[in-house]
Amino acid sequence: MTHRKTVAFAIASVLAFGGTLGAISVPALAEDSATLQSELDAANSQLTEIGYQLAASQEELNNTVVQLNDTNAKIDQLNSDIAEKQSELAAAQDTLSKRVSANYKTGGVSVLSLVLDSTSFEDLFERVYYADKVAESDAETINTVKTLQSELEAQQSELEDQKSQQEALVDQQSAQTQSLQSQVADQQAYVNGLSDEVKAAVQAEADAQAQAAQEAAASAAASAGQNAEAAIESTQNNASQADTGASDNGGSSDNGGSSNTNANTNTSTNTNNSSNTNTSSNTNTNNGGSSNNSSNNTSKNTSKNTSSNSNSSSNKNSSSSNTSSNTSSSGLTSAQRSAILSAAYSAIGVPYVYGGASFSGFDCSGLTMYCYAQAGISLPHSAGAQTDYFTSESLSQAQAGDLIWYSGHVGIYVGNNTILHAPYPGTYVRTEKVWSGYYMVGTYR
């Protein structure tokens, strides 16, 4: 009896400390990683901002290069026109020179010969008029050619000046782009370093927390063992004292004059669309000083559980009607829009590459140029220059396949307030919700 009580008490003590062990809290050591994560988020935000600045700078450079190419084409055409007019001028001068030479050799056409050779007054008038017209025509032809040649040369000079300015702008924008590229690279390196620091800090804190948990568990287990031993020792002492007291009163006996009856009834009813009834009765009668002559233990447990669950769902959609009307004029057919969108979605995941217009890499205007080319439409490789081919409309009027412009940036509207675009260096072609700040939404004319 004493042994059972001792063991029961010891087990109760260990269980009590076990509950305490389960409640031990591990100290939170996440401040360092949280701070680093905050710095990493800020660094990523700054990287995104610089990235868009770089993409805008590259698009400005694209636009200037397009203008420079256009200027060079005009200069080439003017050079061709000037060469043609120079040939016409040379031919007119040659004709006039031959006529002057012939007149010099024959003595020319004198007024006397015109009078003497004329058969009538009308014939004389016609001869004089013809001679004047020939001279006048020769002079007019030469003057016209000279004037046109001068105009072309003036245009050529103006275009050459424009070309020089555009070349200087290209150099300036190229330097700006290179500077931004360097900033992006530095910021990306900083972000990568912070990311590694965050990972290391999180791992260190996880290790520290695990170590603290192990130490706390060991300490709690040691305390539980000590308390259990103390409890066992105390129980044994109490039991020993009780046995000694019983032996001191060994002359007396209990022949039924003492009755110990223990009755325990537990009735529980739980109703939650169910009923559970538990009734237990325990009667223990002890007659005699040291023996148990009668024991009656009766336990009755009745449980009834009734559960009813009914779930009725009715969904009826009698009619659905979606009518869309767009009154904005557009030069795109449904087949062309389909071709543009198919090309755009197939480009998702392709990296941003400045000047790119293929699946090796796209920049923003290279992507729109490529997608529209799949629909048989030729656009320049410049976000700014592409606006010349589109009619402005509101975002609510936009259809999938139209374009949307930000400062130095362009993307394809794919519907549902979503843009598909090549954002900036270091990113990939992707879709995202249209954000504020766009300055034009356009449909192809």
Instruction: Give the domain CATH number at 359.
Output: 3.90.1720.10
Asked if residue 89 lies in contact with residue 146, where contact means CB atoms within 8 angstroms, the answer is: yes
Task: Report the half-sphere exposure of 181 (CA within 13 A, side-chain side).
Answer: 10
As given in the structure block, the two tokens for residue 190 are 């900083």
- Tens place of pLDDT per residue across the chain (445 aa): 445 554 454 445 444 444 444 444 444 444 477 888 888 888 888 888 888 888 888 898 888 998 999 899 998 898 888 888 778 777 776 776 666 555 544 444 554 554 555 566 565 556 555 555 566 666 677 777 778 778 888 888 888 898 899 899 889 888 988 888 888 888 888 888 888 877 777 777 767 777 777 777 777 777 777 777 777 777 777 766 666 655 555 444 444 444 444 434 444 444 444 444 444 444 444 444 444 433 344 334 433 443 334 343 434 343 333 333 344 457 899 999 999 999 999 999 999 999 999 999 999 999 999 999 999 999 999 999 999 999 999 999 999 999 999 999 999 999 999 999 999 998 999 999 999 999 999 999 9
In this prediction the pTM is 0.50
Task: Note whether residue 360 is domain-resident.
Answer: yes
Model pLDDT, residue 130: 59
**Owning domain of residue 97:** 65-197
Q: Which two tokens stand for residue 48?
A: 């995104």
Residue that finishes a domain, picked among 152, 170, 197: 197
Structure tokens at 431: 């879709």
Q: Has residue 285 been placed in a domain?
A: no
Q: Is residue 294 situated within a structural domain?
A: no
Name the maximum alpha-carbon separation found in the chain.
192
Token pair 């374009």 is found at 403
Answer yes or no: are the C-beta atoms of 419 and 371 closer than 8 Å. no
Instruction: Tell me if 286 is assigned to some domain.
Output: no
Task: Output the six-digit token pair for 96.
Answer: 């006039």
Q: Of 197, 221, 244, which residue sits at a domain end? A: 197
What's the pLDDT at 137?
66
Q: Residue 351: its pLDDT value, please?
A: 96
285/294 Cα distance (integer angstroms):
6
Instruction: Pull the structure tokens for residue 117.
Output: 């050779």
Flag whether 7 is in a domain.
no
What pLDDT shows up at residue 150?
Answer: 83
pLDDT of 126 reads: 60
Look at residues 165, 197, 229 and tell me which one is the last residue of a structural domain.
197
Torsion of CA 153, 156, 157, 160, to 10 degrees: -160
Q: Is residue 46 part of a domain?
A: no
Please tell me the predicted confidence (pLDDT) of residue 304: 41
Does a structural domain hold residue 326?
no
For residue 103, the model assigns a pLDDT of 55
Inside any domain, residue 33: no
Exposure class string for 82-105: b at 16+ Cβ within 10 A, else e: beebeeebeebeeebeeeeeeeee
Number of domains in the chain: 2
The CA-CA-CA angle for residues 24, 25, 29, to 5°, reads: 150
Distance between CA atoms of residues 300 and 281, nearest Å: 7
